[in-house]
Amino acid sequence: MSAIEAVERASRVCEAVFKRLVTDETLTKKDKSPVTVADFSAQAVVNNILEKYFPNDPIVGEEDSKDLLGEEGRVLREKVVELTNTAVNTPMSTEEVLKAIDRGQYAGGSTGRHWTLDPIDGTKGFLRGEQFAVCLALIIDGKVRLGVVGCPNLPYDMSQPEGEKGVLAVAVEKQGAFQRKLNVKDFIETPIFVSIVEDSCNASFCESVEAGHANHGDSAKIAELLGITKQSVRMDSQCKYVAVARGDADIYLRLPVDSKYVEKIWDHAAGNIIIQEAGGQVSDVNGEPLDFSQGRTLSANKGVIAANANIFGTVVEAVKATLSNKF
């Protein structure tokens, strides 16, 4: 429950930042300052709650407080402290907020317990008022054991895209995957499952909105090999993992854009276990499991493939054929 509470509160902070700070002007100027405030504030909120419940657990987080220090960081720092205090029970001082943010500097690794947090996954989706996610996972001895993904703008039922929005997806190892309505106090959790599509020609992709996050040319070749003609579901962030986990789409590919790029663990840990506990499978582009024991990055892997178990092997082979000799 503590992890769920942390993600719910951080999601509320992000929504508050959007309502207060994102304007037509910030979008026109491509001003990313609102997402910066939300990143820092959400990380402070989550880390503060984790410290309360798990004081000895280190955290692998995306942010540190260096940009908030001194006179140069004063304006941003004041906004972060103000927004952080909208989501905590006991007001936090500036020093406490900065300390909470900096709890996320753990190096990760293969032994012991640690958490990994992405306070806002999908920054451009956030700024557009579309899909973004707050993602938290617990890693024990290099393996993801629990994942929580808060998706404030994701429809609870994709068949009703203009209906109620706000989804929290949670999975615990060997206990299944579930979704509940975000920021609703009825606490009703519904099991979620990947699709049962058995032939890849009947499948659909869930792909990034941002072209820079994937190689859409390679994706088109893979789609041709798999006989896929359905229109892709496009959204930012780890909401894609949630969409595949509950059968809104069948395949998620994050293909390498170059040979040097290395994925960060906070971008995939929570989504990885949610897919698996929903009955799907996840690997890198070579069919190898994602290795979360390497520190702050997935340095042993390239790219990500997620799909339901019926078509997963076929998808992996199509990816291998397309990327042969590239990575």
- Which of the following is catalytic: 36, 84, 116, 123? 123
Annotated catalytic residue 314 = no
Alpha helices (runs of H) in the chain, residue ranges in sequence order = 2-21, 24-28, 33-53, 74-84, 94-101, 123-128, 216-226, 239-245, 269-277, 309-323
Answer yes or no: 39 catalytic. yes
Query: How many Å apart are CA 151 and CA 147, to the nearest integer?
Result: 13
Q: Which residues contact 186 (CB under 8 A, 6 or more apart)?
A: none
DSSP H helical ranges for 22-156: 24-28, 33-53, 74-84, 94-101, 123-128
Task: Say how far apart CA 270 and CA 139 lie, in whole Å.
Answer: 10
Q: Which of 39, 118, 248, 250 is catalytic?
A: 39
Q: Is 189 exposed, middle or buried (0-12, 13-18, 19+ CB in 10 A)?
A: middle
Strands 165-172 and 176-181: antiparallel
The torsion defined by the Cα of 281, 39, 59 and 258, in degrees rounded to 10, comes to: 50
At 280 the three-state DSSP class reads strand
**How far, rounded to the nearest angstrom, does the alpha carbon of residue 49 sit from its chain's CA centroid?**
19
Alpha-carbon torsion, ordered 218, 209, 306, 227, to 10 deg:
-50
The H or E element spanning position 167 is: strand 165-172
Which residue in 181, 255, 168, 265 sits closest to 218, CA to CA? 255
Please give the positions annotated as active site: 39, 123
